Amino acid sequence: MAAKGVALIIGGSQGLGKATALALAKSGYDLVINYLTDHKAAEQVVSEVNHLGRKVFAFQGDATNYQKMQELFIEVNSEFGRLDVLVHAAGPFIRERKNFYQMSIDEIQQMVHGNLLSAMYTTSLALPLMRKQKFGRIIFFGFHRANEAPSWPDRSVYAAAKVGLVSFCKTLAVEEAPYGITVNMICPSDIIGENKEKMIRDVALLKDKESLRGRPGSGEDVSRVIEFLCQKDSDFVTGNTISVSGGLDIIYPVSKQNPKKID
């Protein structure tokens, strides 16, 4: 069966990126999986996609390295000659709660480069291919309420990078609409651990006291929205931040760190 198109998943070897890759493969896309270091995990995704009857290759490379991403897109063009979907699922996040004063310059750069600049790098390389074919779907990842530019204590730089990505998403949607390219952002709630790669049926009976639905979120909750956005007839849905949160608001108005004595 002919492929529906070609999808590149940045950060596609695990987590929500992997869930998205497998969902798009099931719906008929050939795949390119970009990963940072975990070769074994990437090869597992390649094996699963092959079993679904789709073409796929994995490419190791840091998405914050523009030269490395250029090499990736040369391979994409050589192997497939087109690119229909770009999903930027990479994005470092520091679990330890730190206010800005406590963050090192390396951590600041990691958050900005990994969540914002890498999305800009890969998009700049995807657009020529998409404009040439008059079709494209670009999807970024954010966080619930990112479009409001909220205060998020202990997550300052991560939040700032993602909020910048919201503006980039909305601007691109306007600029690229005449070329048949849509640009949207998926904003999941706190889907964690193995749940990122699970189907809804796998978490349906699990309990989550924070979620208004009563169950945790899953990778399928996110991937099924991405599948919809990638459809040809979804061309009127662009420039949006789409919350997939089960109603959970993950933003806290004050720091959750233990109070510290101020000298």
Residues ≥6 apart with Cβ < 8 Å to 12 = 18, 20, 21, 31, 32, 33, 34, 35, 42, 45, 87, 89
Tens digits of per-residue pLDDT, 76-135?
999 999 999 999 999 999 999 999 999 999 999 999 999 999 999 999 999 999 999 999
**What integer is the mean pLDDT of 11-19?**
97
Domains, the chain, with CATH or none = 5-244 (3.40.50.720)
Residues 174, 239 contacting (CB under 8 angstroms):
yes
pLDDT class for 260, splitting at 50, 70, 90? low
- pLDDT of 244 over the 90 cut: yes
> Using one digit for the tens of pLDDT, what is the confidence trace for 149-171?
999 999 999 999 999 999 999 99
Cα–Cα–Cα angle for 145, 235, 200, nearest 5°? 55
Q: Hey, what amino acid is at 78?
A: S
Residue 168, class by beta-carbon neighbours within 10 Å (0-12 exposed, 13-18 middle, 19+ buried)? middle
What is the pairing mode between strands 85-88 and 181-188? unpaired
pLDDT at 189: 84
Q: Mean pLDDT across the stretch 180-196?
A: 94
Nearest alpha-carbon partner for 8 in 17, 258, 224: 17
